[in-house]
Structure 1
Amino acid sequence: MAVSRFQLKSGWAFKKGCRNSDAEYLPANDLPTEVHLDLLTNEKIADPFKDLNELSVRWIGEETWTYRTTFTAPPDYGKRGITTILRFGGLDTFAHVFINGKPLFDSDNMFIEHVVDVTGSLDIDNGAEQILEITFDSARQKGLELVKEHKEHRFIVHQTEISRGPVRKAQYDWGWDWGPILMTAGPWKPIVLETFESRIVDVWVEYEIDEDLKQVEGRVFVEMEGSGKLDADISKDRQSLEKLDDFKPTTKPGVVSADFELPDASLWWPRGYGSQPLYVISVTLRSASASTKADTVLDEADKTIGFRKVELVQEDDSHGTSFYFRINDVDIFCGGSCWIPADSFLTRTTSSFYRAWMKQAAEGNQAMVRIWGGGIYEQDSLFEAADEFGVLIWQDFAFACANYPAHRSYLASVEVEARQNVRRLRNHPSLIIWAGNNEDYQIVERYGLEYNYTTDKDPESWLKTNFPARYIYEYLLPKVIREETKGVPYHPSSPFGNGTSTTLKVDPTVGDIHQWNVWHGTMEPYQRLPRMAGRFVSEFGMEAYPHVSTLEKAITDPDERYPGSMAMDFRNKAIGHERRLVSYVAENFRIRYDLEGFTHLTQIMQADALTWAYRSWRRDWKQHGNRKVGGVLVWQLNDCWPTMSWAVIDYYGVPKPAYYAIKRTLEPLVVGVQRKVNDWTVRLADELWQRDTSHIDMRKIWEDVQFDIWVASNMRESINGNITVQFISVRTGKEILNPLERAVRIETNGTTEVFENEKVNVPNAQDPDKPFDTSNADPFIIYTTLTIHDKQVASDVSWPEPIKYLSFPDRGVTVEYSDDKKKVFVSAEKPVKGFVFAEKEGLKLSDNGFDLVPGRRTEVHVQGSAADGLQWRYVGSS
């Protein structure tokens, strides 16, 4: 008989309390589901995403909940040689499962799939209903119990209360500095009833690419239960390339394999470096019928793969030790972002949502997305979309910001979790690195936990220290990676240096770093970001409000829609955001406190900060053999609920201006201009007075101007181009100096310096012996363009900092529209800072949050709305 698979999707009910409680059952949503969503459907709670309603649902995470459904036994149940199993994709989190009133199994790990043989557990009476019940204990309460139980361990957690430390559940459910406290429970992945005689359990591929990057030789592995004949077909674009039928046993029980060879394979490339060809391995399990001598198909399985070669290059150089990725022998600058779960209620994120998110990242020129360790091992559909769009994935294991325990039962559960998820994801070409955790080694440094990387190499001894999780990150997980997948590097943590630099102190010479001395830490001005890089910056960021359309959905009371209201402050979970966000805005702009004005300024400030980082750190990509910075990943791409945060795209998929700023800096070919910034806010060491002082010569901000110009390219061939530099008055829109011209030969896949420390002779500079008269000063932008074959391909603009010292009257802005209202054209007579269209869900723009330069017209493509219905503002507009 062929395999029968039936998803137990509908007909569920749920109630508060254990299975024997007297509480009334209520109808539940179709699976997968979660208790908050079921309570919402039954109108038992207010929407936690609106106003202060999060506070009114905290009780849910303290309760026990029971889910129940009925089903009939499959038609072939009980026949000789037939096996029936229940596959539980994921239970959140402390679950007790009963079938027909009898215990079936218990689970304490949200990330584990359970496959249970129920062949002898169902009622075989014809048509009898089988009762499946699942009781979920409070994860928070169980966590507190486990903390008390394991007194031998020093539980330390950041961001949340201590109860999350011993619980294998998505850590952000306890709340984070961007997300609410929503302690979910329920069957969060599908439950499937399977009946079979023989079945395919798993299919995977291991392969090697020859030195010429032409031929792929590999092996298809199939794990199966029962017996039968296997054959496989390898195809591309629905064209069969090779058929396999010579499967032979391996050393692993139940696993067979067959060799294949593709002499002219098409390699999978990251977006911007080549195409993303995908191959399909179709495996069929057959059984020969004795009566008809014909083959009967018992089971089928497909695996989609892409062939690529991955290296994490860590070599000593003049800057320390490199950290960058090489794909198919080509160095790849990994500009991108960090990913958190797309919803506090995971079951609402569908395959189409995942595809939309990865497409949005790809369209924003992002080469990499890092899946953060405080969330989940994301669904296959996210990786399938990343495979399709050429987005590289950095995957953290599910640990974040804590000192985790390592008692034997915990280690056993973690190993199952790791093996299952590595196996599930191992053939996605987009997945190019696994990291052990997020920031757990910073806990080690901050609290002085026992850790001696250089002398203590005995994993068993690590379990006896007050940092036993070292065993997980440096022994167990790398062992799983070695045994379960090939060709994917492992990194002990993010961040992590070389064991002696692990790196609370942020070592810029080795490994990856999380650069949080902008916003957090010492709250450096973001203009200092160019000199705050590391070998790979896997986190950094700046907060901003989402568009007003998103805030209006979350805050229903119009009287609460102002910066600093109770509802607004409650929604922003970042520690100290009240001071930090206002400080950064006020430090750089003339501050406004109406909602629209303040929202706009936070967004432009965030976009400026990220531009300073991406533009200058991509410059530090330099050349082959001298890769000073290997990648930049902003914290963060997305939100899990509507809020103000570091995200560059909000919960509803609406981009902030920072998204477009990143997009512009990561184009395949960009020109960058950066002037030397003379600090105007910090205390400096003054050579004359020999003491710290903030008495600086303010005229240097506008008159003592030096700048650099460079071209960054990820092209795989060198190109001839021309650089033009213009100096345009902010006040008048006129050029105050003759433009500079320079021909340039643009290096392949690297940085070409064009002007370095170029000094501008400012006309009409004021007499240094007379009082500085700002009314007579003429601050100017530096506007540079790159042309190739007389076509402008890139541009950049540098403003005199801070913007708050500038005035923007009478900009002469003109907004025009195409006849079909699908394009909008924006121009100005004088330089304009931060022109932003108000965006909303369903609207899509090709660009936003840009500056305007006299004589240049910006064209924006519009989808989802008529272009003439757009609203806009810029710095200094009313």
Structure 2
Amino acid sequence: MKPTRKTYTFYCVVLIHHNSLVITWEHSTMVRSRHDLRHGWQFRETLGNSSTETPWFPVQVVPTQIHMDLLANEKIPDPFLNLNELEVRSLAEKQWTYRTQFSKPSESASEPSAMTDLVFEGLDTFATVWLNGTKILKSDNMFISHRIDVTNLLKDTNELEIKFDSAMLRGRELVEEHSHEHTFYVRQTEVSRVPVRKAQYNWGWDWGPILMTAGPWKPVYLEQYVARIEDFWTEYEVSEDLQTCSGRIIAKVSEANGQSIRVLLSLNDSVVFEKDCTVSSSGIAEASFSLAQPELWYPFTHGAQTRYELKASLGSDDTMSKRIGFRRAQLIQQEDEFGKSFFFRINGNDVFCGGSCWIPADSFLSQIPEQRYRDWVKLLYDGNQNMVRVWGGGIYEHDTFYDACDELGIMVWQDFAFACASYPTYKSFLDSVEAEARQNIRRLRWHPSLIIWAGSNEDYQVQERYKLEYNYEDKDPQSWLKSTFPARYTYEYLLPKILSEEDRFAIYHPTSPWGDGKITSDPTVGDKHQWDIWHGAMNRYQEAFRLSARFISEFGMEAYPHLETIRSMITVEQQRYPGSMMMDFRNKAIDHERRVAAYVNENFTVIYDIASYTHLTQIVQAEAMHFAYKAWRREWGQRKCGGVLVWQLNDCWPTMSWAVVDYHLVKKPAYYAIRNALKPVSIGVSREYHDWTSGHVNPTESLKDSRFDLWVVSDQTQTLQADVTVRFISIQTGQDIRPPMRLESITLNPNSTTEILKDHDITENSMEIQDKLQSFNIAELDPYVIYATITIDDSTISFDMYWPQPIKYLDFSDRNITIRALEDHKVAISAARPTKGFVIEETRDVNLSDNGFDIVPGQEKLIEVVGTNIRSLRYTYIGAPEGSMPLIA
């Protein structure tokens, strides 16, 4: 029986404030209060029906997950070290119980009519909850929260107990239980993950370990109130001319029928909209609003990140607020000469999306502090990356992640939590998916950074691989349920239906990759995961220009992390060499050593000590990023390619993978290559691709070819005037083989590509250069680099450098490197001859202004070093006489 209700007066205020929308609800009797149950927990292994009791161990803090608690109690070795992952895999089949005692909140005595809810923001994953011996909850979805009215169950002292079953064993049981109605296909580890609504990467992936977590992975707390605001949000449209923003502010309120709520919208502390509204019998309060000349939210590459404050007040004691942004977002898919476009238009501006794919930042999600999320998003911003794709095999990310994206202007592509499988559609599964989708859409819909939702990751590739039934012309969702690919119902009917109901102006894409029912590898429509580099045909990265698509939402190249990370994850010194058992075990990619070796051997002279080989893998990855981002961004001028997202930004544990920044947030050279390619104004230079390994090809062609292309890509909305200089520098002597080309007052097209030179031949009017380049005597060849710079208002803002390919054919002896320490934590680096792949060994306590760069004679490269003693750093480069050397001797 619920306590007797009193009548109260409520106030609702809505404000719009500097790039934020804040809603506050206040009520006049009792302050809504929260009591976190963080401390005083214990855990133990549960032995099923056995009468044997296992000992209890202390839990440091909740949120938590079982591996963290076992590690804190020294019951397991650190799974992130050496081969220790193998030692803890058996934990996946165990059951665990968590318990705590807590006192009844004191507010209950002062306000007998108050409600008390017990809130679980997330339980991982199969959980049964008892309060004082009464079962109050049974949950089977990691992605949803639970709120239970425990007002009449509380005592002066209370005991809360949660039992977690094995997700792996329960998954296997579900596969068996539903095998008569569905065939479970899966890529990446075992099939038991498919019917379980849990982060799929816990079963292991080709970049992460098998670490099956369990526990209260999000906060657990008591909340007391007489009335409360459950949720509030805006539903709005920005007009095509951007002059008005109109819509509704909506609040859902509990226990306040007929009362008044005030909503308030403010900008820069000035109220721009305010209204009192009445809570209906369904608990909804609405206020229509219209703003003239709204200040809009833009990705950081195209404008300011204005956010309004939205506040809702229920009386004087309960206030909630959010910082929201208004923007007009469109996905432009139009027929054109290349097929069908795929790019985003934000507030009327076409936006090239350069960025990364995101996986969970840790195998143990509960140990990620909020600041670490902010640090990751800041890396995107600092790296000129304006979009991040939250991959479907992980989670719907922490609120702090999206807030940081809002603040810094990073667009978010959000996958629903499905990846690389054929998912079932039996009723209990779909019911759970619906609850999951609605909760997470409601949680995230107010973030201006969230630009697009996608139904899954690569599930239609599974459909293709196993030849599951798919007739794009069949538009009957009920018939899809009867096919061998019933998950189509989820991606093409259920999820878009839910999204339209919860956030009706949101952009939805059925899956990634996807293109109007065509095969997922079709480059003319939709987005594409371009894995013909590394996977598939293992094309050379120099062929990236041939591998474009309308939007490349995945591609990548593996590399080792820096040496500090390798030493920290492999503590056995004798195992720190390329191809050791522990090094191989860390890398989860199929055929990883074969593929890494192929790309290294094809392009560089191989040295196999750990420092040198690490350096080579990093330069291979950086070169792949350089060729791909430069070539594909060049196509933005014709909107042929609308975006490029590398797989992947980050790691979930210390390892070697496709990540361009390692688990400890230490940047690989590839990160800087992407940053340079995505500069607001970026110059590019390329030469014709010449194969050097197939059959009877002439391997000297690349060294002798004298033609090149030159272009500039700008994401600026205004026309610019620029000067361009192109040098041609002998790799052997460091001298210019001909006078530089100087192109003055070049007009750069706004938000487009300006093609400056096409197939230009430097031997025109120069028989001497032509004769030098045509020699078949290797000793007489004088290969050169092309070094192009662009200057605006006497400031060099971008450069590019093209080397004859492959690099291993070039002589890098005697580069004559000079390094000078300057004031203000700077070093000046110069070379007498063109130098390739200069890498400073980064560590966790250092921040560099650039790394993995090339050096040309006649110029000093200035590098700012923050956070460490410069003299502690070491460096190397292609052809260095040793593996690494002190940066400052």
Q: What TM-score comes out, normalization by structure 2 length?
A: 0.93
Q: Are 2:143 and 1:111 equivalent residues in the alignment?
A: yes
Query: Which residue of structure 2 lines up, in the alignment, with residue 263 of structure 1?
Result: 292
May I ask how many residue pairs the two structures share in their alignment? 843
- What is the deviation of 1:769? 14
Residue segments in structure 1 that go unaligned for 5+ positions in a row: 287-296, 683-693
SS at match of 1:650: coil
- What is the deviation of 1:771? 8.2
Pair 1:846–1:53, CA change in 2 (3 A): same
Query: Which residue of structure 1 lines up, in the alignment, with residue 645 of structure 2?
Result: 633
Query: Which residue of structure 2 lines up, in the alignment, with residue 88 of structure 1?
Result: 120
Query: Which residue of structure 2 lines up, in the alignment, with residue 146 of structure 1?
Result: 174
Query: Which residue of structure 2 lines up, in the alignment, with residue 319 of structure 1?
Result: 338
Query: Which residue of structure 1 lines up, in the alignment, with residue 751 of structure 2?
Result: 749
Query: Which residue of structure 1 lines up, in the alignment, with residue 408 of structure 2?
Result: 389
C-alpha distance in 2 between matches for 1:513 and 1:272: 23
C-alpha distance in 1 between matches for 2:700 and 2:176: 63
Query: Which residue of structure 1 lines up, in the alignment, with residue 632 of structure 2?
Result: 617
C-alpha distance in 1 between matches for 2:574 and 2:189: 31
Q: Are 2:676 and 1:664 equivalent residues in the alignment?
A: yes
Pair 1:21–1:29, CA change in 2 (3 A): farther
Query: Which residue of structure 1 lines up, in the alignment, with residue 132 of structure 2?
Result: 100
CA RMSD of aligned residues (A): 1.6
Match of 2:98 among 67, 71, 75: 67
Are 1:231 and 1:243, in contact at CA under 8 Å, matched by a contact in 2? Answer: yes
- What is the deviation of 1:381? 0.3
C-alpha distance in 2 between matches for 1:530 and 1:176: 29
C-alpha distance in 2 between matches for 1:808 and 1:560: 30
Match of 1:253 among 260, 282, 301: 282
C-alpha distance in 2 between matches for 1:801 and 1:175: 37
Q: Which amino acid aligns with 1:641?
A: W
Query: Which residue of structure 2 lines up, in the alignment, with residue 354 of structure 1?
Result: 373
C-alpha distance in 1 between matches for 2:807 and 2:700: 15
Q: Are 2:414 and 1:399 equivalent residues in the alignment?
A: no
Q: Are 2:481 and 1:463 equivalent residues in the alignment?
A: yes
C-alpha distance in 2 between matches for 1:658 and 1:42: 39
Q: Which amino acid aligns with 1:115?
A: R
- What is the deviation of 1:226? 0.9
Report sequence identity in percent.
52
Match of 1:165 among 177, 194, 200: 194
C-alpha distance in 2 between matches for 1:496 and 1:257: 37
Pair 1:222–1:837, CA change in 2 (3 A): same
Where do 1:830-841 residues align within 5 Å? 830-841=833-844
Deviations 1:170-215 (A, max 9, x none): 0000000000000000000011211211111001011122333132
Residue segments in structure 2 that go unaligned for 5+ positions in a row: 1-29, 882-889
Deviations 1:809-861 (A, max 9, x none): 111211112224x1111111110000111100021011111000111111111
Query: Which residue of structure 1 lines up, in the alignment, with residue 395 of structure 2?
Result: 376
Query: Which residue of structure 1 lines up, in the alignment, with residue 74 of structure 2?
Result: 43
Are 1:232 and 1:245, in contact at CA under 8 Å, matched by a contact in 2? Answer: yes
Are 2:693 and 2:699, in contact at CA under 8 Å, matched by a contact in 1? Answer: no
- Taking CA–CA contacts closer than 8 Å with sequence separation of 6 or more, which of the two structures ends up with the larger relative contact order? 2
Match of 1:229 among 254, 260, 272: 260
C-alpha distance in 1 between matches for 2:214 and 2:710: 54
C-alpha distance in 2 between matches for 1:490 and 1:586: 42
- What is the deviation of 1:770? 10
Match of 1:275 among 304, 307, 324: 304
Moved more, 135-144 or 252-261: 252-261
Match of 1:13 among 42, 45, 63: 42
Match of 1:421 among 431, 437, 440: 440
Are 1:642 and 1:650, in contact at CA under 8 Å, matched by a contact in 2? Answer: yes
Query: Which residue of structure 1 lines up, in the alignment, with residue 731 of structure 2?
Result: 730
Are 1:338 and 1:539, in contact at CA under 8 Å, matched by a contact in 2? Answer: yes
Q: Which amino acid aligns with 1:122?
A: L
Q: Which amino acid aligns with 1:352?
A: Q
Are 2:260 and 2:277, in contact at CA under 8 Å, matched by a contact in 1? Answer: no
Match of 1:208 among 237, 243, 264: 237
Q: Which amino acid aligns with 2:177?
A: E
Are 1:709 and 1:756, in contact at CA under 8 Å, matched by a contact in 2? Answer: yes
- What is the deviation of 1:247? 4.3
SS at match of 1:585: helix
Pair 1:767–1:384, CA change in 2 (3 A): closer
Query: Which residue of structure 2 lines up, in the alignment, with residue 129 of structure 1?
Result: 157
- What is the deviation of 1:866? 2.7
Pair 1:767–1:714, CA change in 2 (3 A): closer
C-alpha distance in 1 between matches for 2:586 and 2:231: 44
Match of 1:786 among 786, 790, 793: 790
- What is the deviation of 1:107? 0.5
Q: Are 2:790 and 1:775 equivalent residues in the alignment?
A: no
Deviations 1:250-284 (A, max 9, x none): xx921111122332321111012111111111111
C-alpha distance in 2 between matches for 1:552 and 1:808: 29
C-alpha distance in 2 between matches for 1:481 and 1:218: 18
- What is the deviation of 1:120? 2.3
- What is the deviation of 1:121? 2.0
Are 1:766 and 1:772, in contact at CA under 8 Å, matched by a contact in 2? Answer: no
Pair 1:359–1:763, CA change in 2 (3 A): farther
SS at match of 1:259: strand
Are 1:198 and 1:298, in contact at CA under 8 Å, matched by a contact in 2? Answer: no
SS at match of 2:277: coil
Q: Are 2:641 and 1:606 equivalent residues in the alignment?
A: no
Query: Which residue of structure 2 lines up, in the alignment, with residue 194 of structure 1?
Result: 223
SS at match of 2:372: helix
Query: Which residue of structure 2 lines up, in the alignment, with residue 827 of structure 1?
Result: 830
Query: Which residue of structure 2 lines up, in the alignment, with residue 566 of structure 1?
Result: 581
Q: Which amino acid aligns with 1:854?
A: P
SS at match of 1:582: helix
Deviations 1:502-549 (A, max 9, x none): 41xx11100000000110011111111111011000000000000001
Q: Are 2:784 and 1:802 equivalent residues in the alignment?
A: no
Pair 1:122–1:769, CA change in 2 (3 A): closer
C-alpha distance in 1 between matches for 2:172 and 2:240: 55
Query: Which residue of structure 2 lines up, in the alignment, with residue 480 of structure 1?
Result: 498
Q: Are 2:821 and 1:817 equivalent residues in the alignment?
A: yes
Query: Which residue of structure 1 lines up, in the alignment, with residue 9 of structure 2?
Result: none
- What is the deviation of 1:737? 1.6
SS at match of 1:331: strand
Deviations 1:394-441 (A, max 9, x none): 000000000000000000000000000000000100000000000000
Moved more, 806-815 or 359-368: 806-815
Query: Which residue of structure 1 lines up, in the alignment, with residue 22 of structure 2?
Result: none
- What is the deviation of 1:59? 1.3
Query: Which residue of structure 2 lines up, in the alignment, with residue 366 of structure 1?
Result: 385
Are 2:260 and 2:279, in contact at CA under 8 Å, matched by a contact in 1? Answer: no
